[in-house]
Chains A and B, each alone.
Chain A
Amino acid sequence: MSALNPAADLSAHGHDDHGHHEISFVKKYIFSTDHKMIGIQFLLTTLIMLLVGGSLALGVRFQLAWPWRAMPVVSQVAELVGGPNFIAEGGQISPEFYTMLFTMHASVMIFLVIIPILAGAFGNFLIPLMIGADDMAFPALNMMSYWFMWPAIICFGLSFTVEGLNAAPAQGWTSYPVLSAIRDSAPGAGDAQTWWLLGLTLVGVSSMMGSVNYMTTIINMRAPGMTLFRMPLTIWSMFITAILQAFALPVLTAAGFMLLTERTLGFNFFVPGGLVVNDGDPTVGGGQPLLWQHLFWFYSHPAVYIMLLPAMGMVSDMLACKVRKPIFGYKPMVYSMAAIAGLGFIVWGHHMFTSGMNPALGMTFMISTMMIALPSAVKVFNWIGTIWGGKVVFDTVTLNCVAFVSMFIVGGLSGIFMAAVPVDIYFHDTYFIVAHFHYVLFGATLFGCFGAIHFWFPKMFGRLMSDRVGRLHFTLTFIGFNGTFFPMHLLGIAGFPRRYADPYIHPYMEHLMPMNQFITICAVIMGVAQFLLIGNFIVSIFTGKKAGRNPWNANGLEWTAPSPPGHGNFDILPVVYRGPYEYSSPLVDGRDFLMQTELLPPAGDAGNEPAVDS
């Protein structure tokens, strides 16, 4: 299939040479090197992790709404199985456990859900299909990138159990030293923290293998005619993300190792001398805790874009297809993604405005942070422009995409408050921040992912997901989501700090408890709604309507392949003649799409059009 002679292949369609030899079950479904299977493996894994992370979040929410009350269900179950001690006497959440809950919620959601669902699941599945390659450039490396996720998951799991359930990592996902560097500083700062760091490193290894693969594949394996500016925006976003990943991740890995050696081998990077933590011996050394923050955010800010750009790309593709219109401003979309990625490297300091770093840095970081809002704004305008004049039918995909745009506007605008240094003095580490990044990471990215799951599901399994259930899932999630996170802006304005097990001991926050109860109820609705997605997903694999090759009348290369594509993807090697967004083109009559692979006769020579394979 890798023979790049399209003309020869065009005539001999149908028989792909790969379908005939049998692949063992293990090689086909477990240690598969097929990018599609790896993508699906990533998707299923991340969906399971989504439920894990979501349950942890509900624990956090319960404590904030009804502090020190016995958790319903959970405490009964715990009692049934012998009452593990992670919950204090009587079944309520102890403050130690509360810190562990939010730490692991963030760790799971970021490292095991958002990053792998975008790059791992959709990146893997879509890149070769959309650029017309038969597989990734390095299939074995690709397989390893998935199988490095499991050691990571195991490490995170071990971090929960290695010292007993009451000593899971509890330093927040940002894991700031000194808290994370000294074993005595918190119940979870012992071996649990070491395992957590190992897990983080392994996730990094997995991402790195993925990103090397994506870059190589996108640069080298595009189908004939697929020039860079004919690539779908999904591919552009994956490409830019892979570059971001490749350049930013080593810094986090290095920082992680520094912290590991500091914890286990007695090296000294982050802990200054003379600290007396928890009445232990004074520390010796000359480390600098801000160093970690710089290194950590040098990765983790670009990581925010790693967690967002692919969703932006996918939403652009879905939206254009759904409104039957070319994307508004294709090149500005590409350039703005590149600008976000480039600026993304010089804005990390906005996480550290109150950290005590040199105030001059605060100013420069504020200006760069404000400027990164610009490409984001351009993208929003372009999405609205894409819908402008289009045909809108509200199915699940459209709804999720529109929600993506709407939520991203909120997340982007609330970011301006924090980008402004003086205002951030007040808002830093309050619930305003929590609202902001949930609007971006859940509101934008996850709604984008929900849309993408429905959109590309037929390509994955050959069947459509139920649109009715999809819309119900969307509606409940959307209402639950906004009910949960919008009031958090108000909590933030009221000065409600993050990571408080019981904020109500402070008189100025006492009156906010009803609002937190409302938030928790909405969060439960949102959590329960996810079972609709999972159920719809599983049931549709077996009973969904058969999809055919191109159920959405879309233009991309992936829709020329069978659904699901066999080993080697394409039965007809695609040749690309145009960009992916020629919807409603006046060049063709009677239909509103024009696939990238269609060769149109020269202008004036009517008739004799090659058949579309569908």
Chain B
Amino acid sequence: MNWLSKLFNSSIGQKLLVALTGLFLCTFLIVHLSGNFQLFKNDNGMAFNLYTVFMTTNPFIKTVSYVLYASILFHAFKGIHLAIKNRSARPVAYATVDGKANSHWTSRSMGVLGTIILVFIVVHMGDFWYEYKFGHIPYIRYTQNMVTGELTSTPLVGMDGQPLTINKKMEEFVDGDNKIIIVKDLYAEVKEEFTNPLLVLIYLISMAAIGFHLFHGFQSGFQTIGVNHPKYTPILKSLSLWLFGIIIPLAFASMPLYFYFL
């Protein structure tokens, strides 16, 4: 197993791991974004809340999510470790450096951008993931008439008007013509959080950081794993700019803005 430790202690081996985890996180962003689009559905969050139940109970998704958490931690801490190591390769700094003459500022700022994203992930998971798993998210009761399709929703409260909880994430049953769904209302939590302008600002800055990070990171990951081809590299570079640098961050940013101005 000597060859394995040699590989993963070499500069290229370590870069490979950062690239592979980074590209995996890019695919996660696409999944996360497409799921979150359900926030825009005009159903008082029913689709989004059901999707949340699916994402937190499906065994396959749960397994992938543990790989995801590990990837985030590995990518972040290996990245910081390599940035420190790379800095030590030049113990005496130049008095003048004209960086903009030869490279894009994003490629020289991956550590800073990544740190902003890491802080954001902590804030973001504290806001929603932690609240959903361990906090006190109220339940909502959706009533859908199966004949007319009419949908109404009310917060789940007891006789005394206090929020009621059930000891699982959702409950579904049929009552006459009506399908009743009782589910944890993460949608309300999202709506509530994004009335806070400071939080919206933090989200917008973080989405900009993700855009700049991925504008360099996505295509750079392919270069690291050895994919550089005159036919495909230009495609990867334009995906880096348009999809990961602009479209995905803008689409994510539209969510806090939507709820803030709702």
A and B co-occur in one complex? no
